[in-house]
Structure 1
Amino acid sequence: MLTKQRGHACRQAGFSIIELLITIGLAAVLLPALLTGFVAARGGRAQQDQRIQATFLVEGAQEAIREIKDSNWSSLVDAICPCYPAIIGSTWGLQSGTDPTLEDFERVILVEDVFRDADGNIVTTGGINDPSTKKVTTTVSWGSPIPSNVSEVEYLTRTTNEAYIETAESQFLQGTFGPTIAIINNLGGEVILGPGGGADWCSPGNPTAKLDLTGNGETRTVVAGVNRAFVSSGGNNAGRDFWNVTIDNIVFPPIPTEAGTYDQNGVKVNQVFGESHFAYLATDKNDREVVILDVSNSTPELLLNLDIQPNNTNGKSVFVSNDYLFVTTGDKKLYRYLLASDRKSAQQKGSFNLSANGNAIYVSNNYVFIAMDSSLNQLQIINANDPNILQTAGSLSTGNNEVGQGLFVSTSGDRVYFVTRRSSSQEEFFIINTENKSTPTKIGTGYDTAAMDPQGITVIDNRAIIVGLNRPQYQVIRVDGDDYNQCAIVPKASDPDIDDIYNVSSIRIDEHTYSYIVTANSNFEFQIIEGGTGGGGGLYAASGVFESQVFDTGSDVVFNSFTFTKNSPDPTNIDFLVALKPLTTGSCSSETFLSSDFYPYDGVPFGTNGRCFKYRVTLSSNGDFSLTPTLFDITFNYSL
């Protein structure tokens, strides 16, 4: 018995050892997994807590940024990031760097520009910068228990945007454009190329019309008007002072008719200017330096003998712009008068002492350009922006030591096409850059008119037409691109002589373009030459430029974008330039816009503050004169 009990106890002890070993082995296998799971469970809850707190921090930053967007958009534009939201003064703002108030987290904000394609869609490459939209990325990161972050992206847009739309015929008609542009109303208002005509300035033919003017007077000046021409004498005082020439343009070739004449016995007219149904004569009489006529009827009617006081000399040249009359006199003076609407009275509005007598005068964009009777500083520019005071702006010497004779000025006032009297060794025709009126500059070396002694100049369709004494008396130079490219001379070397030409003016009537000239031919003093851009009688002009009216936003704003609706069938084209300017004068309508103010529409410094803006459109047929591009509307988007 005792032996059996001992053996059973030994067996039980052996089993306990085995069980213990098995238990230890299982523990060695299971405990690490259990402990890892326990630790992971505790760490997961901690990580989730961190993520929840980080999300709250992101949302708090986004709320602050939205408040900044609504109250001070420029803070987003000017922010130096990485940055973080902070109370600056009494409002939210953005401070550069990382948020120092957070211990276990790091919060940073990135503000980036947004770019859009032509349809307004946000793109990641290319596109046009949209200054009214910003991409804001808010990121909160932490390092424990597991490094991670929460990041949110949102696009913020300035809330107060405005748009100016030009689409109506009445709006387009307020712009500035020449005869190579037409405003039509097929769909409410469109800008297209003007009629082209069949002739070519560079291949001038014989005059299409001639007119013998009554009397023995020697014609010297001519100004083209709508269905009329203003012609004056000047070579002597033996004939009529002024011829009122009406032109029937319904038929082709046009028919000029001497409707009536005006004569004050013994008066010599030095220059004529015409507008609508008024004619202005600069005379050699010191008690009526300027004579104003009503030419609405066949026989001109005297409205005013303007006696310039205390002047005691003659009138040399005359020009009228926006109801202001400008006249140069023989005592080296420039006078300005404000004309009554009926032209029966005038009030002097300033005078200016010139460096010499003014042989010819042209007014553009509130500046007076004068061809001086001097071999130095032949061009003088006078600032007429002040309604009561005339001030010097600048001058230029052509360098050929000949007196200034004639000039033509672009509508913008940025280019002057200038001729002097003949030089035996140097050029006589010059293109002058007058974007900066105080420092005008010659472009290139100029153009030599050879034996011709220039008397007058006009510019149409990017062609400068110079006329004068001695063959070749009629010369045409292409000036597009500010170049001097001769494209026609009349007569050519092998052609017979033609009459000397004293003056020239140009105009577009319906689908035809003409130059009106006055010559030394006593039988046909007045003549008409058809011109054009060529193309074999195409329907449309080769090219044209339209410049819009100035739009006044009423206060300083930020310009955002420029869009448009157009149709440009191949190979035609439309190019856009946009000008943005702050208000520097009394009103946007009186602001001067230079060529340097304009930018390509997709290169405008959008976001720049300003108040006055306009656009310029160049339409081109690119050789197919049967087609025209069409502008339907434009939209300027800006923010208050």
Structure 2
Amino acid sequence: MPRISVRSKRFRGFTLVEVLFSIVLLGVMLSTVLLSLSGQLTHVASSDSEMRAISLAEEGLEAVRSIRDTNWSALTPGTHGLAFTASGWSLSSASDTQDGLSRTVTITDISPTERKVSVDVAWTTKAGTPRLYELSTMLADWRNLPADDAGGTLEGDWHNPEIAGNMLDFGMGFRGIAVDVASTTLYLAGHGSVTAAYELWAVDVSNPNNPFKRGSINTGSGINEVAVDPVRKYAFVANANTSGQLQVINVANPNALSLTKTYGISGNTQKGRSIDLVGNLVYLGTEGPATAEFYVIDVTTVTSPKVKSSAKIGNDINDVMVFGNYAYLATDVDDREVAIVDVSNPSAATVVSLLDLPGGNNTEGLYVDHATGYLYVGRQLSTAPGEPEVVVVDVSNPANPQIIGSLDYDVSVDSVYAEGNLMFVLALGEEEFKAYDVSHLPALTYYGGIDFGVDDVPTDVYYQNNIFYISVFQQYALRIITAY
């Protein structure tokens, strides 16, 4: 009888099970691999979308910059898309879409010369997950930035300010009256007591601890105020000349300043007194009385200035500052120590308010804080009670300014400035430079100060990057103050 091998049957049965198990295992492995590949493909697709989103957002910011450079007024606040044509970039409807990615440009008005721009790119992944990539920046109307100051956040201990730079001797005949800074070059204007004295100096302040003199120029009559165009490389000065109140000085080479134009105001035989510059418009104040003491002058062509409009205030315009659509004037008129002029239409300057401050002491200098909209005013000394030498005015409504704080000083105050929660007062005294806390108006609380060491008379101030550059009415005519 043949023998039947039971072992052989068992072996064949085990092989079948093993094969089935292997098939299942292989299926699991293939599923895992396929899932992994699917995930990787999804990740690749997601990464590709993210890269395109980043590219679209960056392109969006560059597009808005190009629109800014062409036409600042085209950057209207709101939500937009972007369109590119033969003439360049422009804002379009609420958003624009490319390959399934939606781009939205949001423009927010910060000030007349500042806009915040945000570019959002949104898309949905293949898995149905919404994604968003955002870039934002601040853009400035660089053609029309005020020439007054560059600003910057205060740092260090302003309870104890310090002198940063060494004193420079500008000669026995020179007295500092006004100061402006463009990049790392400071322009110090003043009067000469001798005929040969220079009246505008260029000073290198790339190292504020070690400033040094560069070029200078004699303009003939003395300079009362200076405003520098850092783009076109010209200094516009209010000259103490009755037939040439505005002068244009080429400062392209700080080592060799040269006179480009002397311009006299037709019908005005008073001296140039004060000046501000915004874009291609000069805002000039003269002494008075005259047929007009305030002028808006187009200096697009520097060799051919043109008066656009003017306003009669009644007497000397000691200081001018333009902020937004308004020019703020410090005057010698008793019942209108501060005049506010609407200059939104340069061809039709219009007085919108005249502020009568307490007492009869004239206004010498003023400054509008861009952050708060408060106007800080310095005045001549008055010994009568209730006639403060420093006044703070809310000009959020220029047609109806309101006094919100004041300070009695024991000397005349020629120059004031404000940054953050501090107001800075510059005046002859034991401490020529003083800081006051203005965070709890109407209270103005002494914060800190410094004595220059001699009886200096500060006349003007320019603030930039935590440093104050101060003109002084003496031959050592520059002080540089900071805090550490």
Query: What TM-score, normalized to structure 1?
Result: 0.50
1:176: Cα distance to partner? 6.0
Larger Rg: 1
The CA RMSD over aligned residues, in Å, is: 3.2
> Which residue of 2 is the match for residue 443 of structure 1?
404
Aligned partner letter, 1:487: Y
Alpha-carbon distance in 2 for matches of 1:428, 1:476: 15
> Which residue of 1 is the match for residue 168 of structure 2?
211
1:270 is the counterpart of 2:228: no
Alpha-carbon distance in 1 for matches of 2:393, 2:267: 35
1:371: Cα distance to partner? 0.5
Match 1:516 to one of 450, 458, 469: 469
1:488 is the counterpart of 2:440: no
The verdict on how the C-alpha distance between 1:176 and 1:412 changes in structure 2, with shifts beyond 3 A counting, is farther
Alpha-carbon distance in 1 for matches of 2:338, 2:194: 29
Aligned partner letter, 1:296: A
Aligned pairs for 1:499-510 within 5 A: 499-509=455-465
Contact 2:421/2:439 (CA < 8 Å) preserved in 1? yes
Match 1:377 to one of 320, 336, 345: 336
> Which residue of 2 is the match for residue 324 of structure 1?
281
1:506: Cα distance to partner? 3.2
Aligned pairs for 1:305-324 within 5 A: 305-324=262-281
Aligned pairs for 1:8-27 within 5 A: none
1:505: Cα distance to partner? 2.0
> Which residue of 2 is the match for residue 419 of structure 1?
378
> Which residue of 2 is the match for residue 336 of structure 1?
296
Aligned-partner SS, 1:480:
coil
Contact 1:213/1:526 (CA < 8 Å) preserved in 2? no
1:408 is the counterpart of 2:360: no
The verdict on how the C-alpha distance between 1:376 and 1:200 changes in structure 2, with shifts beyond 3 A counting, is farther
Contact 2:281/2:300 (CA < 8 Å) preserved in 1? no
1:275: Cα distance to partner? 3.0
Match 2:418 to one of 451, 459, 479: 459
> Which residue of 2 is the match for residue 112 of structure 1?
none
Alpha-carbon distance in 2 for matches of 1:388, 1:457: 30
1:212: Cα distance to partner? 2.0
1:476: Cα distance to partner? 1.1
Match 1:434 to one of 383, 390, 395: 395
Aligned partner letter, 2:202: N
1:515: Cα distance to partner? 0.7
Alpha-carbon distance in 2 for matches of 1:506, 1:460: 12
Contact 1:377/1:395 (CA < 8 Å) preserved in 2? yes
1:526 is the counterpart of 2:465: no
The verdict on how the C-alpha distance between 1:258 and 1:497 changes in structure 2, with shifts beyond 3 A counting, is closer
> Which residue of 1 is the match for residue 203 of structure 2?
245
1:235: Cα distance to partner? 6.8
CA offsets, 1:51-86, max 9 Å, x none? xxxxxxxxxxxxxxxxxxxxxxxxxxxxxxxxxxxx
The verdict on how the C-alpha distance between 1:474 and 1:367 changes in structure 2, with shifts beyond 3 A counting, is same
1:409: Cα distance to partner? 1.2
1:228: Cα distance to partner? 1.8
Contact 2:177/2:460 (CA < 8 Å) preserved in 1? no
> Which residue of 2 is the match for residue 257 of structure 1?
212
Contact 2:204/2:212 (CA < 8 Å) preserved in 1? yes
Identity over the aligned pairs, expressed in percent? 17
Alpha-carbon distance in 1 for matches of 2:457, 2:449: 13
Aligned-partner SS, 2:162:
coil
Alpha-carbon distance in 2 for matches of 1:414, 1:237: 42
Aligned partner letter, 1:242: L
Match 1:296 to one of 252, 277, 281: 252
Alpha-carbon distance in 1 for matches of 2:171, 2:298: 34
CA offsets, 1:507-556, max 9 Å, x none? 334xxx1111122453x32121113xxxxx6xxxxxxxxxxxxxxxxxxx
Contact 1:517/1:527 (CA < 8 Å) preserved in 2? yes
CA offsets, 1:4-57, max 9 Å, x none? xxxxxxxxxxxxxxxxxxxxxxxxxxxxxxxxxxxxxxxxxxxxxxxxxxxxxx
Contact 1:457/1:503 (CA < 8 Å) preserved in 2? no
The verdict on how the C-alpha distance between 1:289 and 1:161 changes in structure 2, with shifts beyond 3 A counting, is closer
The verdict on how the C-alpha distance between 1:237 and 1:225 changes in structure 2, with shifts beyond 3 A counting, is farther
Contact 1:413/1:434 (CA < 8 Å) preserved in 2? no
Contact 2:162/2:450 (CA < 8 Å) preserved in 1? no
Gapped runs of 5+ residues in structure 1? 1-159, 178-186, 532-536, 538-640
> Which residue of 1 is the match for residue 3 of structure 2?
none
> Which residue of 2 is the match for residue 476 of structure 1?
435
> Which residue of 2 is the match for residue 389 of structure 1?
348
Alpha-carbon distance in 2 for matches of 1:515, 1:468: 14
Contact 1:225/1:507 (CA < 8 Å) preserved in 2? no
1:214: Cα distance to partner? 3.9
The verdict on how the C-alpha distance between 1:234 and 1:463 changes in structure 2, with shifts beyond 3 A counting, is farther
Alpha-carbon distance in 1 for matches of 2:435, 2:194: 32
Alpha-carbon distance in 2 for matches of 1:258, 1:199: 28
Aligned-partner SS, 1:258:
strand
Alpha-carbon distance in 2 for matches of 1:206, 1:313: 37
The verdict on how the C-alpha distance between 1:176 and 1:358 changes in structure 2, with shifts beyond 3 A counting, is farther
> Which residue of 2 is the match for residue 279 of structure 1?
235
The verdict on how the C-alpha distance between 1:335 and 1:195 changes in structure 2, with shifts beyond 3 A counting, is closer
Aligned partner letter, 1:429: V
Aligned-partner SS, 2:237:
strand
Alpha-carbon distance in 2 for matches of 1:390, 1:521: 36
Contact 1:289/1:314 (CA < 8 Å) preserved in 2? yes
Contact 1:452/1:471 (CA < 8 Å) preserved in 2? no
